[in-house]
Structure 1
Amino acid sequence: MELVLNSSSWLQDQFPGELWVQCFLSIFLTITCFSLNFVMVFIYLKEPVYQGVLRYMLFIHLLVNDFLQTALAVLLFLFARFEGIMLLSACSVIVLLSACTSMNTPLNLAVMSLERYIAICFPLHHVQLCTVNRGYIAIALIWLMGILPSMSDISIAYAYGPLGYFQGYFNCRRSLFMILPSQSTKQVALNVVYFSSIWAVVIYTYIKIMLTARKATSDKSSASKGQRTVLLHGVQLILSMSFFIYPLTEYLFKGQTLLPIRHVRFFNYYVTMVLPRCLTPLIYGVRDENFKKHLKVYLSSCRKKVQPLQSN
């Protein structure tokens, strides 16, 4: 998210046509993502087959979280592209939400992997362990763990910043809240612990499900499907971490004349921030047999409703 928040420094030399093309691409993908997410959330709320099933609850939470993150990323991008400034107190809310939703996605994937692990390796206990109430608790813990790092940075900025700092107007970016040198060290350490723990959960559950699938004699298809699902969680986790390649790609292209650095930055923003979040419904929802069936029904009914009138 820092990629978007720091983008205002490279706006000066943009051409108007280029500006509007980039804005159109960002808004178009966001609207497309929202439309597909809306249909899936509507199906989830409408169809009884999804009610009370923890994995569907976690999937819908992932959809809503990723869309919120995408919308905030595009909002900050547009705000920066037009060189807007805002009250720092308002910026703190946007930074808090954007950073929190960024952290939530990997945590949600880890919980989804654990749910599949319990379903495959401990099927007799799955109903007792993976209840809706525990799903609500898991989602609450996800948000708590996601919000704490940014909340601590904002609190430090409020405590150690200059008098009236939060009443000033700035180009909104997270670095405005990094007042103390130790905050950068803390952020790096937290990211290492955070992503290492999540990868440990995903890898562990994948290995355990793989071993169970090999030992299974009766329900091999279910175990194999669970193994593929956790593998997809790993792919989605890689996509959610793709924004870490931003400093590397900018360093590699810095100083060359073939491709302007502003194009590299927009490509990084679009590919690492916006696109991965919009792939979530395709990676999970379209693959699920229930969602696929209901999507076909709802989309076909929509096509019938918008058929042009036949002339007499």
Structure 2
Amino acid sequence: MSSQAWTNTTDDSMGLVEKMLLVTLTTISCCIFLIINVIMLFTLRSRPVFRETCRYILLYNLLFADTVQIAVSQLLYILSVCRIMLTYPVCGVFVMVANLTSEISPLTLVVMSLERYVAVCYPLRHTTIITIRNTGAAITAVWAFCSLNTGVRVLLLLQFPFEQLQSLQMKQFCSTFLMFLTPVTVDYDKAYTCFLFVSAGLSVISSYIGVIIAARSASTDKASARRARNTLLLHLVQLCLILSSTIHNPLLIAASNVVTRTMLIRIQNILYVFIIVLPRCLSALIYGIRDKTIRPVLLYYLCCRLKLSVVTVTER
């Protein structure tokens, strides 16, 4: 999606200096977010406590999917800026990877929400229900379900009569939008996206309501319930931010009818950073700053392994 607006709006109406400035700022922003995510991933593999705790394993899966999504989006953006055309098969691989990882995030948030729900509502059974084995099975199920959807997309894509084309070389830059080659693919994508986010939203909201009800119980740890409630609220916000990426193209199409091409390029770069890239980096920032166990280790690696003590980090 990130390259579509640039493809259709780049012309000589914008000066070369302004074009390069926009591309540089956008790329630098994306690279910073990508570096933060990679450091966060390394952090979650650097200590046994992270590798052996279920919620951190789920967080790693979420960050991994978001990082791949950012990397693929930025790669497609750079290819479009450099005016490099791909073939349909190569573009299809990039698009399928982007679709797969974009679907992993909301489903992982659902599993993380259910984990917090069990921790508050069934504290005595939490250690027997939320085990590393069960967590691994849940992650496998998430990837399998999303891979099945990707397989369906591939089958729908193969219905397009590629043999009638003179060449498999694309005449426009690769983007998710351009791979919707048949009306059935468009309808399927809309239906699946609605099903995915409605189901994920209802699951997170139900978990949130369950935690609120449990928090009123006299036998529940109030502090633990409050933390779980705040965490679930963050999951809901993350889900909404991820959902916002689906309105990227409609916003650009609406803006193209009322603004000039030069202004549209500026709007496209802003939307790309704040709607597509930034939501995928917020997980690392939220958990890295909020979680007291992750925070000192993350700051340690962000500061190039300077010897920062936990006391110093806390004082700051």
Same fold, TM exceeding 0.5? yes
Maintained 8 Å contact 2:26/2:269: no
1:278 match: 281
Mapped to 1, the partners of 2:302 and 2:70 lie a distance apart of: 24
Relative contact order, CA 8 A, sep 6+: which one is greater? 2
User: In angstroms, what is the RMSD of aligned CA positions?
Assistant: 2.5
Mapped to 1, the partners of 2:2 and 2:29 lie a distance apart of: 18
Name the stretch that deviates more: 221-230 or 272-281. 272-281
Mapped to 2, the partners of 1:208 and 1:304 lie a distance apart of: 42
Q: How many Å apart are 1:131 and its aligned residue?
A: 1.5
Say if 1:18 and 1:140 are closer, same or farther in 2 by CA, change over 3 A.
farther
Q: How many Å apart are 1:277 and its aligned residue?
A: 1.1
Q: How many Å apart are 1:143 and its aligned residue?
A: 2.0
Q: How many Å apart are 1:299 and its aligned residue?
A: 4.8
Question: Sequence identity, in percent?
Answer: 30
| Correspondence 1:202-217 to 2 at 5 A | 202-217=204-219
Name the stretch that deviates more: 145-154 or 164-173. 164-173
Say if 1:167 and 1:121 are closer, same or farther in 2 by CA, change over 3 A.
farther
Q: How many Å apart are 1:258 and its aligned residue?
A: 11
1:151 match: 151
Measured against aligned partners, the alpha-carbon deviations of 1:68-90 in whole angstroms (never above 9, x if no partner) come to: 10111111111112221012111
Say if 1:138 and 1:25 are closer, same or farther in 2 by CA, change over 3 A.
farther
Maintained 8 Å contact 2:29/2:273: no
Q: How many Å apart are 1:144 and its aligned residue?
A: 2.5
Say if 1:116 and 1:91 are closer, same or farther in 2 by CA, change over 3 A.
same
**Alignment pair present for 1:261 and 2:261:** no
Maintained 8 Å contact 1:5/1:76: no
Mapped to 2, the partners of 1:288 and 1:20 lie a distance apart of: 38
Q: Which amino acid aligns with 2:280?
A: R
2:175 match: 173
Q: Which amino acid aligns with 2:131?
A: T
Q: How many residues are treated as equivalent by the alignment?
A: 304
Q: Which amino acid aligns with 2:38?
A: F
Q: TM-score, normalised by structure 1?
A: 0.88
1:241 match: 243
**Alignment pair present for 1:225 and 2:233:** no
Q: TM-score, normalised by structure 2?
A: 0.87
Question: What are the ranges of 5 or more consecutive residues in structure 2 without an aligned counterpart?
Answer: 309-316
Measured against aligned partners, the alpha-carbon deviations of 1:135-162 in whole angstroms (never above 9, x if no partner) come to: 2222222222323334323322224322
1:310 match: none
| Correspondence 1:1-312 to 2 at 5 A | 2-5=1-4, 7-13=6-12, 14-163=14-163, 168-170=168-170, 171-217=173-219, 219-246=221-248, 247-248=250-251, 250-252=253-255, 254-256=257-259, 260-299=263-302, 302-303=305-306
Say if 1:208 and 1:218 are closer, same or farther in 2 by CA, change over 3 A.
closer
Say if 1:16 and 1:159 are closer, same or farther in 2 by CA, change over 3 A.
same
Question: What are the ranges of 5 or more consecutive residues in structure 1 without an aligned counterpart?
Answer: 306-312
Mapped to 2, the partners of 1:77 and 1:205 lie a distance apart of: 37
Q: Which amino acid aligns with 2:120?
A: I
Maintained 8 Å contact 1:65/1:104: yes
Mapped to 1, the partners of 2:295 and 2:166 lie a distance apart of: 48
Mapped to 2, the partners of 1:145 and 1:15 lie a distance apart of: 46
Q: Which amino acid aligns with 2:21?
A: V
Mapped to 1, the partners of 2:303 and 2:6 lie a distance apart of: 41
Mapped to 2, the partners of 1:10 and 1:257 lie a distance apart of: 9
